[in-house]
Amino acid sequence: MARTLEQWIDDLQARGRYTFLRQEAIAGSGLSAEAVKKGLQRLAARRRVVKVKNYFYAIVPLEYRAAAAPPPAWFIGDLMVAMKLPYYVGLLSAAAMHGASHQQPQEFQVMTNRSVRRITVGRAKIRFFASKYMAGAATVAMKTPAGVVAAATPETTAVDLARFSRSAGNLDNVATVISGLLPSLNASWLLAAVRNVDDVPNAQRLGYVLDRLQKRDLSGPIHEWVSRHHPRPQKLRSALGAGDATKDCRWHLLVNGPIEFDA
């Protein structure tokens, strides 16, 4: 007996799969391309599936029908494989996975190696950040109900937060999030993450934040590395002027606004 497209999708979910390619649906269901196209449109209207890309769909479990999509962590790994791009969950989204976010991030943040447009999937927004340091970034496999995803380690997360502080709320929010990461940070691995991106100005800012958090055991190796590069004075907050700034001689920073954070 011929199966319907929905039966084929039900079978996928029963096996623990929550994503599929359009071509898989055609081959697996035995239906024509046109029948699959119309069937997917009907199922999307019922919020049984959601189209992420023209060629890539996610299955929506009953508990996520109101959101019109499962959480991005459930399908981001399969999506990036389909897009043939390296990735890791980063910034505030990685921090949340490590239990260091004080609030749920408003967007799901993903690092990859080139520019990719934002994607809206149901109520979720996925934002991509391009980094040329992907190959050397330390990641960890994190479990989700749909499998595992690659996420930045706490150390990679801290370094990326300093580099992309504007996209992480601001430097105050970065300090708050890093304070939540402190129990997970290893000084040697943190230094390795700093050296991987070779970004002296943001290493200066990260070191300053760690000092403010009273974690000289973590900032000390970074300070030695920064000092060997003979750093130039940098503004702590790069987007603000430095008219009334005070100088921090340890980190060669013009402190143009205090760091305020929630411990």
Q: CA-to-CA distance for 257 and 195, rounded, in angstroms?
A: 27
Span 241-248, average pLDDT:
87
Q: CA-to-CA distance for 137 and 144, rounded, in angstroms?
A: 21
What are the residue ranges spanned by the domains of the chain?
A: 5-64, 72-255
Residue type, 207: G
Position 1 confidence tier, pLDDT thresholds 50, 70, 90: very low
Q: CA-to-CA distance for 77 and 85, rounded, in angstroms?
A: 10
Reported as type and span, the H/E element at residue 229 is none
Q: CA-to-CA distance for 263 and 244, rounded, in angstroms?
A: 27
Question: Is the torsion defined by CA of 133, 136, 142, 145 positive or negative?
Answer: positive
The number of C-alpha atoms within 13 Å of 127 and in the hemisphere containing its C-beta is 14
pLDDT of residue 263: 66
In a 3-state reduction of DSSP, which class is residue 170? Answer: coil
Which is more confidently placed, 59 or 262?
Answer: 59
Other Cβ atoms within 10 Å of 144 Cβ, number: 19
Which is more confidently placed, 3 or 229?
Answer: 229
Q: Are 156 and 162 in contact (CB under 8 A)?
A: no
pLDDT of residue 101: 72
What class has domain 5-64? mainly alpha
Reported as type and span, the H/E element at residue 167 is none
pLDDT tens sequence across 226-237: 999 999 999 999
pLDDT of residue 131: 94
DSSP annotation of 250: T
pLDDT tens sequence across 93-147: 999 999 987 667 789 999 999 999 999 999 999 999 999 999 899 999 999 999 9
Residue type, 228: R
- Give the Å distances, CA to CA, from 104 to 92, 101, 108, 109, 144: 9, 7, 10, 12, 16
C-alpha 191, offset from chain centre: 20
pLDDT tens sequence across 54-70: 999 999 999 999 999 99
- Give the Å distances, CA to CA, from 80 to 77, 140, 160, 218: 5, 16, 20, 33
pLDDT tens sequence across 25-48: 999 999 999 999 999 999 999 999
pLDDT tens sequence across 166-216: 999 899 999 999 999 999 999 999 999 999 999 999 999 999 999 999 999
